[in-house]
Amino acid sequence: MQQTLINAPRVSAWRIVLILLAVMIALPAFVMGAELSHALGAVRAIQSSLVGGAILALIAALAGAAGAHTRKTTYELITDAFGGHGARLANGVLGLSILGWYGVVAMMFGHALASVSPALASAPIWALALGGCVLTTLTAMVGFRALDLLSAVTTPLKLLLLVWTFIAALRGGLSPVWSFVPATVMPMGLGVSMVAGGLMVGAVLSPDICRFAKSPRRAALACALAYGLGFPLVLTLAGLPSLASGDKDLVRIMLTLGLGVPALLIVALTAWSTNSFNLYAASLIGSTLRPGQPPWQLTLVAGLVGTVLGLAGIGELLVPYLLWLGVCIPPVAGIYLVHAVLAPSGAATAARWRADALIAWAVGSTWAALAPRWGLALTAVPALDSIAVSALVYGVIHRLLQHPGAGIPVVVKLGRRTTASTVDRSAEKF
């Protein structure tokens, strides 16, 4: 399959930006934009969005460039750094995070659809959510080509709908927005961490899309534009209308403004594009955990698990979930990026477990979670601390033990060299 990917056509930076924005313009982002604005006020919310977006842009640009350079998926890069069995652990955590997002979006879709359409108001929420899951499952089964075509159509339309709502909501002027004072002010660092944590999984997974870029530089540029400018713009377009109206629900704001059809469109399009990507990424992870399983079965199982998580109420834990993502997921990217720099190009996976990567992951996550309580935080953003500490620890251990490209094989070595690509099925469908 590696040869198939090598021969696959490269895509422009603009097409990658469209795909990334299709994922970002989502119902959870609308909720986050409103929550940030009400917790920080307009100016500080915009500042938090820009700082958090800059962190995401840096991580995504580095990860995307690595994917474009190596033509590997995120999970192959993780396997290089963590070893075969260690990668299963890291990919399992990533997979759970992605399916959690899938569940959040699925249930948001069900609730939003019921509120938009009177004809669907009496339908069970679970049935509406299930209908969305069926659509996204079918899309994800097609692979990258479906994501590319879907984003080309939906991203400009969703941006247009957001701008339309923004203009309609702020016809009375921006005075109420700038004068809004939160009842309880959230610390700035917490707001930045919410923004960074909210899309950290997406930044870590950038190689899955950017491996199709024409060059590493263009992949990095696409990530920088999408995360550094696009995501803060989405948060602002969703947040400021909520301050002007006093309502945190963007869909309800659109209905109040008489934008019924646009509201229906944005609910359907955002859930479709976002969860199609989530399911696509989850199925790639599933391929590393169950390499012999047919792709369509992995996609179906991932969709079912994500739906169950949504029905179980994971959306009610959105803020803690975002903070958890910002602590545990960034170290994975820090480690595989440092490994990509230190390891020889094309080095094969020799160990099943690599203690240097596992130690660095544990130290980075623990530091980010506990250092603020001890007054030892490096920055006000736990997500930034976790990736910085894990990358530093991994780099030091890796160099001291002088095992470039091999890590610390603490169990047994594989009897033969592993192939460079075992999970990439999407290239066949490009």
Of 142-156, 173-187, 262-276, the one with minimum mean pLDDT is: 142-156
Band the pLDDT of 420: cuts 50, 70, 90.
very low
- CATH number for the domain whose boundaries are 10-316: 1.10.4160.10
pLDDT value at position 56?
A: 92
Residue 426 confidence (pLDDT) above 70: no
Q: Which residue has the tokens 């203690």?
A: 355
Range 119-145 average pLDDT:
78
SS (H, E, C) the chain: CHHHHHCCCCECHHHHHHHHHHHHCCHHHHHHHHHHHHHHCHHHHHHHHHHHHHHHHHHHHHHHHHHHHHCCCHHHHHHHHHCHHHHHHHHHHHHHHHHHHHHHHHHHHHHHHHHHCHHHCCCCHHHHHHHHHHHHHHHHHHCHHHHHHHHHHHHHHHHHHHHHHHHHHCCCCCHHHHCCCCCCCCCHHHHHHHHHHHCHHHHHCCHHHHCCECCHHHHHHHHHHHHHHHHHHHHHHHHHHHHHHCCCCHHHHHHHCCCHHHHHHHHHHHHHHHHHHHHHHHHHHHHHHCCCCCHHHHHHHHHHHHHHHHHCCHHHHHHHHHHHHHHHCHHHHHHHHHHHHHCCCCCCCCECCEHHHHHHHHHHHHHHHHHHHHCCCCCCCHHHHHHHHHHHHHHHHHHHCCCCCCCCECCCECCCCCCCCCCCCHHHHC
pLDDT value at position 394?
A: 94
Is the alpha carbon torsion for 174, 178, 184, 185 positive or negative? positive
Band the pLDDT of 60: cuts 50, 70, 90.
very high
Chain mean pLDDT for the chain = 79
pLDDT value at position 8?
A: 52
pLDDT value at position 323?
A: 66
Residues of the chain with pLDDT > 90, as a percent, come to: 17
Residue 389 confidence (pLDDT) above 80: yes
pLDDT value at position 318?
A: 64
Per-residue tokens: 127? 């049935």
Give the Cα separation of 233 and 16 in Å (integer). 17
Give the Cα separation of 300 and 233 in Å (integer). 33
Residue 161 confidence (pLDDT) above 80: yes
Report domain extents, the chain: 10-316
Residue 220 confidence (pLDDT) above 90: yes
Give the Cα separation of 227 and 215 in Å (integer). 18
Residue 165 confidence (pLDDT) above 70: yes
Range 333-355 average pLDDT:
74
Band the pLDDT of 402: cuts 50, 70, 90.
low
pLDDT value at position 265?
A: 79
Band the pLDDT of 221: cuts 50, 70, 90.
very high
Band the pLDDT of 423: cuts 50, 70, 90.
very low
**pLDDT single digits (tens) 295-341:** 778 888 888 888 888 777 776 776 676 667 667 888 888 899 998 88
pTM: 0.77
Residues near 106 by beta carbon (within 8 Å), at least 6 away in sequence: 129, 132, 133, 271, 275, 306, 307, 310
pLDDT value at position 360?
A: 94
Band the pLDDT of 111: cuts 50, 70, 90.
confident
pLDDT value at position 411?
A: 42
Give the Cα separation of 247 and 115 in Å (integer). 14
Residue 232 confidence (pLDDT) above 90: yes
Give 161 or 217, the one with higher predicted confidence.
217
From residue 33, how far is each of 40, 127, 167 by CA, in Å?
11, 28, 16
